[in-house]
Amino acid sequence: KASINITHTDRIMHWKVKPRWPILKRPSPGKRRSLKTPEPLQPAFENRQFLCGIQCDRPVDRCEGDYAAAGPYVSIDMTGETDEVSFDALYISPHKFIGGPGTPGVLAIKRKLLTNRLPSLPGGGTVSYVSPEGHTYLPAGESKEEGGTPAIVESIRAGMVFQLKDAVGAETIERLEHDMVTRAIKRWSRHPNIHILGDLKAPRISMLSFLIMRQGKPFHFGYINALLNDIFGIQARGGCSCAGPYGHELLNIDKNYSRTINNAVNAGYTILRPGWVRLNFNYFISEETFEYMLQAVEMIAEHGWKLFGNYRYDPASDLWICNQGRTNACYDLNQISFENGIFQAPTNEPRKNRKPLSTYIDMAEKLFTDLDLSCPTFQHADPITTLPAEFEKLRWYAR
């Protein structure tokens, strides 16, 4: 048996702990790989990842599909009528859907596979009767596999987010997002300081991971995230996006270098973890917002280096913080009060932006133009604590 073509850490870890289940390395784009094994296969694919053309020389026993990333944006089909691949089980993460935070994960599985004599997780809800002498489990089915108190409210919310997606229509979502990601790739790929990761010709959902380069080295993803947030109010995700093994391939990290980074991280120097910046273009954003996001990244790619010395890395929070800025403290539960039977908490009502987004592009241009690069603050001082000599060579980011 084999797990094939997995990138997400949550998925790959389940296979790594099973020593008899090999994990195949993804072949280069356009190439195929044949797996010779005497046993039937149980491949596990992430949706849209089987485009690299892995071919097995023996019939597939069971096939699993992971829709954690693609689920909110594409049609989900187990039958093979639309995706040309029939799945026996699908993993879906409704919390990544629009309106989905707080929802439970969903496993869609064919009933013929629910044959366990014992449930995967025995507990209340999996039994039909319990006595001092013994117990009887429910017949095979979803109830038998859901031990403990079910997530009732959360499951209702999950149903609502699927209802919202269906109301918009998967075809509409795919059409709108395909248009945006195609235009974004066309624009950003022409910029010498923007390096988009992955095969630019392969079909993809509207999600781009990229590096901002400076003299052949990428800036740290945390720094780029800080600039996007502080200057443009855009929140992006930085890091390896829970895809560490795939990240090693994308960033050409070999085994020896990876072990050395791991040693540094275990010693507390988490800043050395490699990664990238990830943005996605949701189907509901306006053309103005889409253009604003493109221009923001392009401006940082062109001028972001000018502010590097004005930021410091805080190891405790793992954040890059502007030396001359102010950070709004996060609310915590200690600020909530029920005194006199009344719920009281700090309020910070968001103000609706009534200015065109181009206003903030103009403000950013003025900021970068007015910077006095002769000031000592901007002399590219390294904004983090000096690294030990043994780890200094691992400093992969531009500075």
Encode pLDDT of 258-297 as tens digits: 999 999 999 999 999 999 999 999 999 999 999 999 999 9
Nearest residue to 235 (alpha-carbon basis) of 284, 187, 280: 280
Span 184-217, pLDDT tens digits: 999 999 999 999 998 898 888 899 999 999 999 9
Q: Which of 24-28, 158-162, 239-243, 303-307 has the lowest mean pLDDT?
A: 24-28
Does position 232 have pLDDT exceeding 70, yes or no?
yes
Q: 308-317 pLDDT, tens per residue?
A: 988 999 888 8
Q: Return the pLDDT at 1.
A: 45
- Structure letter (DSSP) for residue 304: G
Report domain extents, the chain: 3-168, 170-392
Closest CA to 308 of 364, 395, 371: 371
Maximum average pLDDT range among 63-77, 107-121, 258-272, 339-353: 258-272
Mean pLDDT of 80-106: 86
Helix axes 287-303, 221-232, angle to 10 degrees: 130
- Span 170-392: which CATH code? 3.90.1150.10
Tell me which of 3.30.470.20, 1.10.3720.10, 3.40.640.10, 3.50.50.60 is the CATH number of domain 3-168.
Answer: 3.40.640.10
* pLDDT at residue 58 tops 50: no
pLDDT of residue 329: 65
Residue 107 phi/psi, 5° resolution?
Answer: -110, 115
- Selected residue with higher pLDDT from 22 and 183: 183
Amino acid (1-letter code) at residue 89: A
pLDDT of 53 = 30
pLDDT beyond 50 at 28? yes
Model-wide pTM > 0.85? no
